[in-house]
Homo-oligomer: A and B are copies of this chain.
Amino acid sequence: MKKQIAIRDVALAAGVSTATVSRYLNGKFQSMGENTRLRIEKVIKSMDYKPNDVARSLRSTKSNTIAVILSDILNPYSIAILQGIEEACAEFGYTIFVCNSKESPLKESEFVEMMMAKRVDGFVINTTGGNDELIVNLAAEIPVVLVGRKISKNGKTVNSVSIDNFQGVALAVDHLLEKRCNSLILLSPPTNRISPRIERVGAFLALTSQANLDNIKSDVHIIEKIQIDRVAEVLSDIFEKKNSADSLGIIATNGILSLAVLKAVKQLNRTIPADFLFIGFDDTEWSSVTNPSLTVISQPTYQIGAFAAKKLITSLLQNNENIDLESLELPVQLIARDSTIN
């Protein structure tokens, strides 16, 4: 490991003070002689000097670093968001720490603490839903933007970018009704305190209880743990209770669950759309090649990440002043494929 050269060495070699080199590094050329600038430039190049960001951060109290805390890094949804964040950050010279809380509020809170200790400039969080108060307080100290999942605590909210879940469920329900389903079922993971799950279940209940749908049966099934066997059990149950005249339509509220449904259906030797029509959430890259191809509610995942990062960086550049609290909800769309052909 060769000796690190420091700003002092550059200053010495260029015959100026470290203050002047520092000004050069920070692009304050207007208050600097051209000769000086050129001299420093040359010395830096010839010595191959690289400023130490740790020292810069300590002094300037900004690190050009953002913490991204994901609830489930394996979810394709999270990855697309992460990519959106990464690209927006790279564009503005920000670097991202990535943390995976695995839906554990404890881990999430530990990550928040670790990241604060590392003096990140801001947070993008896909929260577990179990740290509302912590996050509301965090947002009072440092810029925070939530993605996918919103929170509120004691009447306070935090910046967020998510989707219009009511619209998503409405598109799905309407599509199934158009396809003449008369029995609708929503499959959801436990809602816990996770806003999109609550909103989707709520929307489904609201939509199916409309007066003009008297002749339509509907039900919500919560899948406690997303395992093929468990999903298969739930589906068996549904088939058993099903009236032979019923035309069944099922909606799964996220991509992982959709996948589990496909696997469970296979295990049960059932077929979609023969046994039921099926709509999933999230247009993953594989949605079009499954058997059958999947009708989905497509979410603008990449945009969610990109918008969140840009919002955050804007706050940062404006010193977190007069930033209006914002809850952005992006529209979704339905992509019809073979799983809802009847």
Contacts and interface: CB of A to CB of B under 8 A. Distances in A.
B291 A286 contact: no
- At the interface, is chain A mostly helix, strand, loop or mixed? mixed
Contacts of A2: 141
Contacts of A142: 1
Copies of this subunit: 2
Nearest to A263: B289
Contacts of A100: 83, 86-87, 90
A82 B79 CA distance: 11
A262 interface: yes
A289 B291 contact: yes
24 contacts: A1-B141, A1-B142, A50-B116, A53-B119, A54-B58, A54-B118, A73-B83, A73-B86, A74-B80, A79-B79, A86-B98, A87-B100, A95-B118, A96-B97, A98-B98, A259-B286, A262-B289, A263-B289, A284-B286, A286-B289, A290-B290, A291-B291, A291-B292, A291-B293
Interface of A: 1-2, 50-55, 57-58, 63, 65, 73-74, 79-80, 82-83, 86-87, 90, 95-100, 113-119, 141-142, 259, 262-263, 266, 284-286, 288-293
